[in-house]
Amino acid sequence: MEALLKLRAIFPENFNAQFYIDVINGLQSEPKHLDAKYFYDAEGDKLFQQIMNCEEYYLTDCEMEIFRQQTAELSEVIMQGGQPFDLIELGAGDATKSTHLLRDLIKQEADFTYLPIDISSHVISTLNATLPLSVPGLKIKGLQGEYFEMLKKAADISTNRKVVLFMGANIGNMPVADAEDFCEELRRNLNPGDMVLIGFDLKKNPETILAAYNDSEGITKEFNLNLLRRINRELGANFNVDTFHHYAMYDPETGSCKSYLVSLKEQVVTFPDGEEIHFKRDEYIWMEISQKYSLDQTKEFALRSGFKPVANFFDSKGWFVDAVWVA
Ligand code: AVI
């Protein structure tokens, strides 16, 4: 506690101790890495919006097409488990894709409550205020917090059947073993008959995948560099972002797409408490994984974590799947 107070006195005003600890631990690891969850400050959110709109980043369009064009089929599968139910969305964001589903479920007179879960209180208060206006008749109860804590809370609030949406290929941002653990924990938090819909980005032409993470306008590069800028802004470090190169690679054998920032020279980055991070020339920071799966792998994944795969929804190119599993 005393150490923490000292740190608070040294660092900029909005000092987040956990952020500092994770950054220092990551940069002292071998190889160096940073946790991709820290990409998403206000600046990072804006850059991610730009990524989603950029030519090469196909993932959002693919999943949007599924939610726009197969809405009735999605509703049918979801409603088959019986009513009433709670529709829970992990990491709801602005709920653009799920709004199509919500409207259709209301049209079908489904008896359900929408429980968006997000770590951001801003996201939750905005959804609580705006969604009932854009989706008349919607019952909504936003939950702000960590996914599994809020899933437990959702189970306390009602005993209704649960349908959990985990979209956007967010599962790809976990290494495969962590994603398996995540699915197992999800299963443990659900009852038999509950359902999950998980968005997976599928393996495809390696050039298509690589381009999505190395766009020609350099937005993904800025998205990565923004984390170094954030560390400068919030933790008072002195990264010179011009001396880091964005490098993305995709391995078609393993399906892992990884991004790195590579130091263009030998250098030392310092923090206000005197902590120093040394970089050799060409030393890299592993920034993010975006894992791609084959359809068979998604099925194995379901079975290994105790779910039964019941339906798959593909976009017209067959690049993305929203897989529906029953607990
Ligand atoms: C949020 N997530 C699914 C994105 C992805 O495709 O891995 C994050 C991202 N990183 C770079 N571009 C997009």
CB contact set of 274 (below 8 Å; sequence gap of 6+): none
pLDDT, tens digit, for every residue of 53-95?
Answer: 999 999 999 999 999 999 999 999 999 988 899 999 999 988 9
> Which CA distances in Å does 268 have to 219, 244, 262, 279?
26, 13, 14, 6
Q: What local confidence, expressed as pLDDT, does residue 7 receive? A: 74
| Angle ∠(291,178,210) on CA atoms, nearest 5 | 10
d(CA 190, CA 250): 34
For residue 52, the tally of other CB atoms under 10 A from its CB is 15
Measure 89 CA to ligand 1 centroid, in angstroms: 18
d(CA 317, CA 64): 13
Q: What local confidence, expressed as pLDDT, does residue 242 receive? A: 98
Scan for tokens 């909504």, then name that residue.
140
3-state DSSP percent of the chain in helix, strand and coil, to 5: 45, 25, 30
DSSP structure class, residue 293? B
Can you read off the two tokens belonging to residue 188? 């443990």
Q: What local confidence, expressed as pLDDT, does residue 15 receive? A: 83
pLDDT, tens digit, for every residue of 121-137?
Answer: 888 999 999 999 999 99
Residue 312: CA count within 13 A, CB half-sphere: 17
Can you read off the two tokens belonging to residue 312? 């798959």
d(CA 177, CA 60): 25
Nearest Cα neighbor of 136 from 114, 106, 162 is 106
DSSP structure class, residue 25? H
pLDDT, tens digit, for every residue of 93-125?
Answer: 889 999 999 999 999 999 999 999 998 888 899
Q: Which of 37, 46, 48, 217 to mutate to test the pocket of ligand 1 (most atoms within 8 A of CB)?
A: 48
**Confidence check: pLDDT of 38 > 80:** yes
DSSP structure class, residue 202? B
Residues within 6 Å of ligand 1 by CB: 51, 59, 168-170, 172-173, 213, 220, 223, 288, 290
DSSP structure class, residue 203? P
Q: Which of 290, 292, 319, 320 to mutate to test the pocket of ligand 1 (most atoms within 8 A of CB)?
A: 290
CB contact set of 108 (below 8 Å; sequence gap of 6+): 72, 75, 79
Can you read off the two tokens belonging to residue 288? 């993010």
Phi, psi angles (nearest 5°) of residue 262: -110, 130
Percent of the chain scored above 70 by pLDDT? 99
ipTM score of complex: 0.99
Measure 184 CA to ligand 1 centroid, in angstroms: 23
DSSP structure class, residue 292? -
pLDDT, tens digit, for every residue of 233-259?
Answer: 999 999 999 999 999 999 999 999 999
Given the CA of residue 201, which atom of ligand 1 is nearest to it?
6
Q: Where are the beta strands (DSSP E) in the chain?
A: 32-33, 85-90, 112-118, 143-144, 161-166, 195-201, 244-251, 256-263, 267-270, 276-279, 284-291, 308-314, 320-326
Can you read off the two tokens belonging to residue 217? 């306008």
Strands 195-201 and 161-166: parallel
